[in-house]
């Protein structure tokens, strides 16, 4: 058997046809055009009306206008790491490698400069198929078969479900609060609250998809958010945006079918959620107050669906409680950033120096909610709904313990996700919630 020396192998690869790697959909599991589009909407929202006009003038005009308006950071693209490793091996053996880019040529050049793997970039010609790159490159080349050397590409159905964040639907259980607080435990009110829950879940998932699409480039630099389906590239941007555009109208139509007041509450919720995703989340303290209001809107949505008027006590208690939890979320994020040696959040208006004031405000809001709950005992509503209101006093120390414990864990850096999701998996929190429900049940009988 003949033996081939490493030198002759390298010479063979050097004389082999150049390897052509397409950028969109092969090197990255996205496309530069879609990345540029979303970056433009995120940074120039008020100019988004120009996009259809540019598109009407042709794909090249849209591509050129976007390139002039935004610059894509090549470090934030969802690269196929397995393919990059293969290309690195080919490059080390002397293989010429070309990068084919159908759009955003300037960004493609930056990608090539960033990766240091390509001899040059080439554009498609007017011909179709594999030959179009051959003609554009003006050299003999072989198109890379990504299915052999790249990571396995799976379907988008499971990533889409994951990106809809069904775990976050736990927050929408708040629509059942008016029914429970008003002791209206009937099949009709249960069905109405269930419809409101489904409507809120559809609109929330629509907003999550849009938010993740707009934040994809920032999320790819985040230690945990980079695993989200859109940021990781397992869910194509067009699919995510199409699903978002379908889910929101479905939720609004469902609300309109049940009750006009629920439609109003849902419309306000969705507009606030969009405003939060597009701009408000980058504003200091505005994002936190908005989050607290979004929680309270879920309670108002449950009231609208069941026609049970919420008391001012309930609204005051819920606002301060959710404001505390929103502050806790930001405080935990800043604590983790500080622990990683970073100073500023990407896409947010905070620095790690803001941990102390956020913590102070959050703890104060937590115990303000406990105070509102205590004042609730003297209201006429309690005397009507609870034959034995003394049992409600037992909830006060449980609330103080629970909120104090959450904030202590936050200062330790142990609350590493959304507080409500953390609570849903925290055994101590679940025991406290069960104790509060038991005491409320005893007070009502």
Q: Which of 299, 297, 303, 289 is nearest to 269 (CA)?
A: 297
**Domain extent for 373:** 157-443
373 and 236: one domain? yes
Residue 140 Cα to chain centre, angstroms: 44
pLDDT attached to residue 18 = 82
Say what the pLDDT of residue 164 is: 94
What does the pLDDT read at residue 45? 86
Report yes or no on 1 lying in a domain.
no
pLDDT at res. 444? 84
Distance CA 345, CA 420 (A): 21
In angstroms, the CA 281 to CA 273 distance is: 10
**Neighbour-count burial of 250, counting CB atoms closer than 10 A to its CB (0-12 exposed, 13-18 middle, 19+ buried):** middle
Q: Which residues pair with 142 in a beta bridge?
A: 19
CB 233 within 8 A of CB 30: yes
**Per the structure block, which two tokens stand in for 332?**
């935990």
Cα(299)–Cα(176) distance, integer angstroms: 8
Q: What is the pLDDT of residue 255?
A: 95
CATH number at residue 222: 1.10.357.140
From 126, 149, 172, the end of a domain falls on 149
Task: Give the span between the Cα atoms of 70 and 34, in whole angstroms.
Answer: 12
Q: Label the pairing between strands 120-122 and 141-143.
A: unpaired
Measured CA to CA, the distance from residue 211 to residue 33 in angstroms comes to 18
* Domain end among 124, 149, 174: 149
Handedness of CA 409, 410, 416, 419 (dihedral sign): positive
Backbone angles phi and psi of 120, in degrees to 5? -170, 170
Helical H segments across 215-285, by residue range: 216-219, 229-232, 237-258, 260-278
Give every residue of the chain whose pLDDT is below 70, as ranges: 1-15, 125-140, 146, 150, 152, 346-347
pTM score? 0.85
268 and 336, same domain (yes or no): yes
Same domain for 84 and 180? no
Q: CA angle at residue 130 from 56 to 103, to 5 degrees?
A: 35
Amino acid 277: pLDDT:
86
Q: Which residue has the tokens 């198109």?
A: 143
Q: What angle do CA 68, 130, 112 make, to 5 degrees?
A: 40
* The two structure tokens encoding residue 359: 């913590």
In a domain, 321, yes or no: yes
**Whole-number pLDDT of residue 136:** 47
Last residue of a domain, one of 149, 168, 198: 149
Instruction: Give the model's pLDDT for residue 313.
Output: 87
């Amino acid at each position: 058997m003949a033996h081939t020396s490493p030198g002759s192998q390298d010479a063979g690869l050097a004389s082999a046809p150049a390897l052509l790697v397409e950028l969109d959909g092969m090197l990255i599991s996205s496309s530069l055009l879609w990345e540029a589009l979303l970056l433009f909407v995120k940074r120039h929202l008020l100019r988004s009306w120009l996009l259809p006009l540019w598109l009407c003038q042709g794909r090249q005009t849209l591509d050129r206008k976007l390139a002039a308006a935004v610059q894509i950071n090549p470090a934030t693209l969802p690269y196929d790491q397995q393919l990059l490793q293969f290309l690195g091996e080919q490059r080390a053996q002397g293989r010429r490698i070309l990068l084919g880019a159908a759009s955003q040529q300037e960004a493609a050049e930056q990608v090539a400069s960033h990766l240091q793997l390509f001899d040059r970039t080439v554009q498609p010609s007017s011909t179709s198929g594999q030959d179009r790159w051959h003609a554009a490159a003006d050299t003999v080349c072989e198109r890379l078969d990504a299915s052999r050397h790249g990571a396995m590409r799976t379907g988008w159905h499971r990533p889409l479900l994951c990106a809809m964040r069904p775990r976050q639907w736990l927050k929408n259980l708040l629509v059942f609060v008016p029914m429970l607080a008003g002791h209206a435990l009937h099949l009709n009110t249960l069905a109405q609250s269930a419809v409101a829950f489904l409507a809120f879940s559809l609109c929330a998932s629509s907003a999550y998809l849009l938010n993740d699409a707009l934040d994809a480039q920032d999320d790819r630099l985040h230690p945990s958010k980079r695993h989200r389906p859109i940021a990781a590239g397992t869910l194509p941007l067009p699919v995510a945006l199409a699903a978002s555009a379908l889910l929101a109208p479905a939720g609004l139509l469902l609300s309109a079918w049940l009750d006009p007041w629920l439609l109003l509450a849902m419309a306000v919720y969705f507009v606030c959620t969009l405003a939060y995703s597009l701009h408000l989340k980058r504003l200091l303290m505005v994002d936190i107050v908005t989050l607290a209001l979004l929680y309270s809107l879920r309670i108002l949505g449950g009231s609208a669906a069941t026609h049970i008027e919420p008391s001012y006590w309930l609204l005051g208690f819920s606002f301060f409680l959710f404001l505390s939890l929103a502050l806790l979320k930001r405080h935990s994020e800043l604590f983790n950033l500080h622990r990683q040696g970073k100073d500023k959040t990407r896409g947010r208006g905070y620095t790690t120096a803001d941990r102390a004031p956020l913590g102070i405000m959050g703890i104060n809001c937590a115990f303000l909610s406990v105070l509102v709950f205590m004042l609730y005992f003297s209201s006429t509503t309690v005397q009507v709904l609870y034959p034995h209101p003394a049992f409600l006093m037992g909830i006060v120390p449980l609330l103080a313990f629970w909120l104090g414990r959450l904030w202590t864990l936050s200062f330790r850096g142990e609350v590493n996700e959304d507080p409500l999701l953390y609570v849903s998996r925290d055994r101590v929190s679940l025991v406290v919630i069960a104790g509060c429900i038991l005491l409320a049940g005893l007070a009502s009988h």
